[in-house]
Amino acid sequence: MARTALTTGDLAWNAVKDIHAKYHAVVADDVTNGIALTTACTERTILHITNTEQEAKATLETDLAGDNNDLKFTSKLKGRFGNAIKVEYVDPDAASAELGVTVSGTTISVSLATDVNKDITSTAALVKAAIEATPAAAALVTVANKDANTGGVVTAMAATALADGTGENQVIIEAGVYARAGLGNLVVAVPAQSDQYVGPLESMRFEQADEKLYIQPYAAGTTMTISPILLPAGI
């Protein structure tokens, strides 16, 4: 798929610094394919990034079979980043298995304890304690009882993502192909309800072989926009 085209060609900048720009709402295709920014001069290019979303943590409330056994997970990651976290409860299908927690990327996997008959014995209270005692998992989420639940025996649960995290996003300006590309990508945090300018951008670090800049937003959202600004020569 082609990258989304974004250009500074129709932008202006006047003597009183009233910047006029054509804003581009970040959509799903931009995240998947990236943005190709055509600009007359990288060293005079600035990105105006606006994020009007309010900060909200991603959450997951389990809905297991049985009673009194559900938990609520709340992301410790900001904004949309929390939506990448998943939690799963795995039935080991083995006798006398022990409760264990592992983390792969942003997926928290809870291997449940069983008795000699392979029946699950782990309670929500024990799952909560096990996650809190595992540093990699505890770095991703906080855990609480859901509503009036007090920690009954749980059941297996397929990997389920936290949801509804909004706010902080990020934009990556990809390293190019010239002498200073070894410095790597530039990762720019875009906090909730922020308005910021990034640049000017160095051609020897960021310019691609097709003489464009490549921009990769982390997540789509109509409340985040990117606008390229081309400053006049001599500034």
Q: 14: pLDDT confidence band, cut at 50, 70 and 90?
A: very low
**Structure confidence at residue 232 (pLDDT):** 79
**Structure confidence at residue 1 (pLDDT):** 61
In whole angstroms, what separates CA 181 from the centre of its chain?
Answer: 25
The per-residue pLDDT for range 224-235, each reduced to its tens digit, is 899 888 887 765
* Rounded average pLDDT over 76-91: 95
The per-residue pLDDT for range 127-137, each reduced to its tens digit, is 999 999 999 99
**Strand pairing class (4-7; 35-38):** parallel
Q: Are 211 and 217 in contact (CB under 8 A)?
A: no
pLDDT(221) > 80? no
Angle subtended at Cα 198 by Cα 197 and Cα 201, rounded to the nearest 5 degrees: 140
pLDDT(186) > 90? yes
Phi, psi (degrees; rounded to nearest 5) at 126: -70, -40
pTM flag (> 0.85): no
pLDDT(15) > 60? no
**Structure confidence at residue 9 (pLDDT):** 65
Structure tokens at 217: 């937003």
